[in-house]
Amino acid sequence: MISKDTIEKVFETARVEEVIGDFVQLKRAGSNLKGLSPFVNEKSPSFMVSPVKQIWKDFSSGKGGNAVTFLMEHEHFTYPEAIKYLAVKYNIEIEETVQTDEDVAQANEKESMYLVSEFAQKYFHHTLLETEEGKAIGLSYFKERGFTSETIKKFGLGYSPETWDAFTKEALGKGYKLDYLDKTGLSIVKEDKQFDRFKGRVMFPIQSMSGRVLGFGGRILTNDKKAAKYLNSPESDIYHKSKVLYGIFHAKQSIAKLNNCYLVEGYTDVIQMNQAGIENVVASSGTALTPDQIRLINRLTPNITVLFDGDAAGLRASIRGIDLILEAGMNVKVCTFPDGDDPDSFARKTSYEDLLHYFEENAKDFIQFKASLLMQEAKNDPIKKADLIRDMVISISKIPDRIKREVYIKECSRIMDISEDVLFNTLAQLVKKDLSEANKQYKEEQKAFEVVKNDISQPTAKVDIQYELEHKIIQILLLYGDKEDTFEDTILAQNEDGEMVEVKEQNKYKVYQRIYLSLQEDEVELANPVFKAIYNHLIAYYNENEAFELDKYLMHLPEELAQEVTTVLMNEEREVLHNWEVQQIYVKQKEATISQYVTETIITLRWYLVNNIIDDLKNNVSNEEQSDNSETLEMVMAYLGLTHIFSKSLGRVLSRYN
């Protein structure tokens, strides 16, 4: 178990904007930062980070929290894993109490698979560097590829011995369960035996964006024609090939900083480019590019430069992935290398400055690249040229931004020497067809979920006023609870004639004290159970602590309440997402009039509750002539008098601060 002191040091040191900045490209938005949601596919940013409050909120998915909860949501870490990750990031020594056998047994299955994978990575790396076989075969291969010792260490490269069960025996001897060796695919388990999947291969660990080992790629070094040259870990609970990009852990910060991602095909392409100084590079690991992989890049940058080798035969198939990138609304450039070269070989013989210059000079916009490539195929064949033009327009139709589509159509018209009108008409037909198909698919999906509807039309849902007012009270307590301000009190005092009259006094209160006293005075409890739980927790926390520090408060907050608290805290930040100032709409800042805001909210809640009581009393009045409703009517009149007082008080509050 991680000690309490370590956890507190982590919370005091970790900065939510730095932690999330490793995974999401954030841009300044007033005092906050915003970016694209890492949880859903979106074009407009709805993800907000508050450096002041040290919290984040994703308005698309509804998720929110602090740095730890982000790691738990995004990386699927357990709480201890998230704490350990942050401790490593900020060089904090982890103090742990002794774990019992019961604690170890409770580790979940995914965590066990991660632990097995991490052990395997260390084993293969040690075998590469410290054994005779590893050095003679594996290390020699990597050195021949030009990889330095620093690069080998950085990427955790390794070697799996030629012996059938060397790794499996070692793992079992260290106490790792065969079940998890099987589930991660590191060992192949048969009824009567078990053996290593990656026997006699150099090993490339595949890491998540946070650096956890998900799986492996293994390259065979012999000329065995029956064996695959490259072998990947099978799909598992922790490794999904279509959702992973090789090198993303080492590239993420550089991608976000340089606002561009180079996309290559293989492991060695990534490593060689990285060693040459180009760190913002990832690979699809030999698989066709997938939407999930594109979304992974899109969280860090909207710009992709696809690097192809000089093999023209493979280009035609490879550029199909470009349409998927365009469909995601991203900007695509393509760069090819001279014949006979690939990213690996070219980076190996080219300096960092020359590499950058080459990319700058040779990276073409996708439309220019695709046109030049396909025109070579079409040559003077008019039918092939017509198919080529249609192929180009199909790619352009995938772009969601209409302005970009029009710009590309004009460029296509110039390159292909064909009228814009023809291209625009073709584009319109394709877009119309796509919309029609999307609409058809939507209707089919709706049928699957269709329910029998009543003939009577449903009334429009009303705003839940009490919910909104209680939500405001919680928001005020969280944002301004420990602030002190001047409030107006009404007291009864004796005048010179000995009469009891109302006197207005100005008194200072902490905001949380004022709210508590006001609700106690009327014996009001919050109706919403979640708000009520948060309210009670907050009042207790304020009474027990001299100062209110949001990050420390979130540490003490029960997990079931944390989600709602983050939503309440970040709700006002949504205004920043819409850039109101740009539209010359200036949002009123509540800090300037805290006491007014508190008083307005409390009086409005009182007014609302009293009106509900009046409505209930009216409903109880009998229409029968013999019934005596006098007492009920008197109560209604008394409550109506109270609403007039509220009205007067509210008007005075508003006028006082305007």
Where residue 413 sits, what CATH number does that domain have? 3.40.1360.10
Domain that holds residue 468: 462-571+591-658
Residues 425 and 288 in one domain: yes
CB 424 within 8 A of CB 409: yes
Asked, for residue 37, whether it belongs to a domain, the answer is yes
Helix axes 529-544, 511-521, angle to 10 degrees: 130
- Which three-class secondary structure state does DSSP give residue 589? coil
Distance CA 160, CA 179 (A): 20
Residues 130 and 157 in one domain: yes
- How long is the chain? 658
Q: On the CB side of 64, how many CA atoms lie within 13 Å of its CA?
A: 28
pLDDT of residue 527: 85
pLDDT of residue 172: 95
Domain boundary among 57, 89, 121: 89
Lowest mean pLDDT among 18-22, 212-216, 399-403: 399-403
Residues 262 and 406 in one domain: yes
Q: Which range, 233-242, 283-292, 412-421, is most confident?
A: 233-242
Residues 44 and 122 in one domain: no
Q: Pick the residue with more confidence: 653 or 549?
A: 549
Distance CA 367, CA 326 (A): 11
Q: Per-residue pLDDT tens for 350-395?
A: 999 999 999 999 998 888 787 777 676 667 778 877 888 888 888 8
Lowest mean pLDDT among 125-129, 396-400, 435-439, 543-547: 435-439
In which element (H, E) is residue 49 found?
A: strand 47-50
Residues 150 and 226 in one domain: yes
Counting the structural domains of the chain, the total is 4
| pLDDT(491) > 80 | no
- Which three-class secondary structure state does DSSP give residue 288? coil
Residues 23 and 145 in one domain: no
Residues 408 and 485 in one domain: no
Asked, for residue 263, whether it belongs to a domain, the answer is yes
Q: How many CB atoms lie within 10 A of CB 249?
A: 20
Amino acid letter, 51: P
Residues 492 and 638 in one domain: yes
Domain boundary among 38, 54, 89: 89
| pLDDT(104) > 60 | no
pLDDT of residue 585: 41
Domain boundary among 197, 219, 239: 239
| pLDDT(607) > 70 | yes
Residues 221 and 308 in one domain: no
Residues 11 and 119 in one domain: no
CATH number at residue 122: 3.90.980.10
